[in-house]
Amino acid sequence: MNMKTLSIRILFLVTLLAPRFGYAEANRPNIVFLFSDDLTTQAISAYNYGLKLPPTPNFDRLARDGMLFENSFCGNSICTPSRATVMTGLHSHKNGIVNLGGALDPHRPSWPKKLKQSGYTTAVFGKWHMKTKPNGFDDWEVFSGQGSYYNPDLFSAKGNRRVEGHSTDVVTDVALNWLDNRDHSKPFALLIQHKAPHRNWKPSIKELELYRDMTFPEPPSLFDNYESRIAAKNHKMGIDEHMRMDSDLMMFRGDQANRVLGRFTPEQREAYLAAFQEENDAFIANPPTGKALVRWKYQRYMKNYLRCVAGVDRNVGKVLDRLDELNLTENTIVVYCADQGFYLGEHGWFDKRWAYEESLRMPLIVRWPGTVKKGSRSSAMVQNIDYAPTLLDMAGVKLDWEVHGISLLPLLKNGGAAPENWRSTIYYRYIDGGHGVPQHSAIRTKDFKLLHFDQPRNAAEEASIWELFDLNQDPQEMLNLAGKRTHATKLKSMKALFHKTKQYYGDSDEGVWTNRRGVRFADEDYIRPPRPRRR
């Protein structure tokens, strides 16, 4: 046998036996999936919207070392539905969760489940929010529902416990502890899912002093009058009318603090009261009214929201540092994203839900040393339906169920450039109905957006069920062009594209969209079984 034949035989043997001894596993990339709640692209300095908001050094560090997706969107801008899409690769009308109250079918395929089946060790910590127990994970410890900012209760297969501290720190620490003690013979997928910066914005005490003397720039549409956008007039998510002074803004009178800070330890409460005392006293002594009050609320909102973001950013840094220390950086894919975007005062709003830009966008940054070009940016249209096929593709695992999404691996390998015939339209559908946001579907292309409100709530809405925006001319979406003669041809072609896209994804205006209550699973499938339904 010559040397060449010998080495081929050895190689063959190694390939055959390696999986049994775990060698091949060592080369499969690990995955750290960092997910936060309601953390919007405007708040991430790497997205660079020129808003002069504080820098986010650790998100920026990820972007510098990886790829940032500039045109990343969700398919339904609300928590549970978006999370179900991330897990399954399917839009809401096909994944079983159409609104906030939905529960994930534990028997459905998902990317973590598939990774586990293929030899990964998998774990999820923090905000899960899909009611049923996380399935497809070796370990999980999650909140039930929204979870608490302070001293959260964590539920696991072993029961539940309360952990003292701020939820962002607690979740990171629990996750990093798992990382240290995991099954080292396998590649891992670790999902670290933060509650912050979800309402009611309660930053960690570590961040309470940040931005104290700063005045944030106001978005030009803070005092939007919704002219030409009839449905938006009936919103219930205004900073002026719907944001609560006590529980949302920490502006306490009387004994309100005791109720709002009910879960806090005496020390945490003391730190909170001290941090807001002076400003609150000044407010009570001379309460602003009208527009001045909206401005005051906007500033307080921004400070607390951005302090929560700073806490997530700090914890992202902690995770990246730990990967460095453990020598895992080179062979670990880090994905950062959030479940949807959010309004930071644009249109006078907080919250999300609308197919308008700020809540339609979804931050997405991917680092994979050696594969993803450092500091690259992709302008391709990507959506949360793409995550499941992408993550499996990156791990070399075959997808074995039908998804709506497409793997982003070719883009990741190619500096962000999309293959020919990449999608040029994304599809959106929202039905939850909370915060006065009516059911609507939408499509977005690079240059235009079309919204369709299919459940008008009054005659005025009935007369204005289509909204068309020119995203280049009007990036803030202030002028609905649907009724304009100048745009009649554009409206027609966008409507045709809308129907085609809806059909392409197998959606229709009937059926599952009216089944808001979803399927009821066995009691033991739930983190906490729901109360029996009234007849």
Q: Least CB distance from residue 338 to Ca ion, whole Å?
A: 7
465's contact among ligand SGN, Ca ion, none, with CB below 5 to 8 A by partner kind, is none
Q: Least CB distance from residue 194 to ligand SGN, whole Å?
A: 12
Q: Is 79 in the site for ligand SGN (CB under 6 A)?
A: yes
Say how many C-beta atoms besides its own lie within 10 A of residue 181's C-beta.
9
Q: Least CB distance from residue 352 to ligand SGN, whole Å?
A: 7
**How many helices and strands in the chain, by DSSP H and E?**
16, 14
Candidate segments 6-14, 26-34, 77-85, 174-182, binder of Ca ion by CB under 5 A: 77-85
Full 3-state SS string of 85-140: HHHHCCCHHHHCCCCCCCCCCCCCCCHHHHHHHCCCEEEEEECCCCCECCCCCCEE
Of the pair 224, 432, the CB lying nearest Ca ion is at: 432
Sheet holding 153-156, edge to edge: 159-162, 153-156, 139-142, 121-126, 188-193, 30-36, 332-338, 364-367, 67-73, 376-383
- Of 190-229, binders to ligand SGN (CB under 6 A) are 198-200
Of the pair 53, 79, the CB lying nearest ligand SGN is at: 79
Q: Is 351 in the site for ligand SGN (CB under 6 A)?
A: yes
**Rounded CA separation 375/105 (Å):** 38
Are 55 and 45 within 8 A, CB to CB? Answer: yes
Among 64, 318, 435, 495, binds ligand SGN (CB under 6 A): 435
Lookup: tokens for 407: 């793997």
Instruction: Find all residues with CB under 8 Å of 268, minimum gap 6, and list them.
Output: 150, 151, 205, 261
Q: Least CB distance from residue 503 to ligand SGN, whole Å?
A: 28
- Of 355-414, binders to ligand SGN (CB under 6 A) are none
Of the pair 38, 346, the CB lying nearest Ca ion is at: 38
Query: CA-based Rg of the chain, rounded to a whole angstrom?
Result: 24
Distances (CA, A) of 341 to 40, 77, 135: 4, 7, 26
Binding mask 36-55 for ligand SGN (x = CB under 6 A): -xx-----------------
Q: Which residues of 390-407 are buried (b: 16+ CB within 10 A; e: fewer)?
A: bbbbbbebebeeebbbbb
Among 44, 78, 251, 319, binds ligand SGN (CB under 6 A): 78
Q: Least CB distance from residue 429 to ligand SGN, whole Å?
A: 15
Lookup: tokens for 194: 């933060």
Q: Least CB distance from residue 437 to ligand SGN, whole Å?
A: 9
Q: Least CB distance from residue 351 to ligand SGN, whole Å?
A: 5
Among 37, 60, 357, 358, binds Ca ion (CB under 5 A): 37
- Of 87-116, binders to ligand SGN (CB under 6 A) are 100
Kindly list the residues in this chain that would bind Ca ion in the complex (CB under 5 A).
37-38, 79, 339
Kindly list the residues in this chain that would bind ligand SGN in the complex (CB under 6 A).
37-38, 78-79, 100, 198-200, 351, 434-435
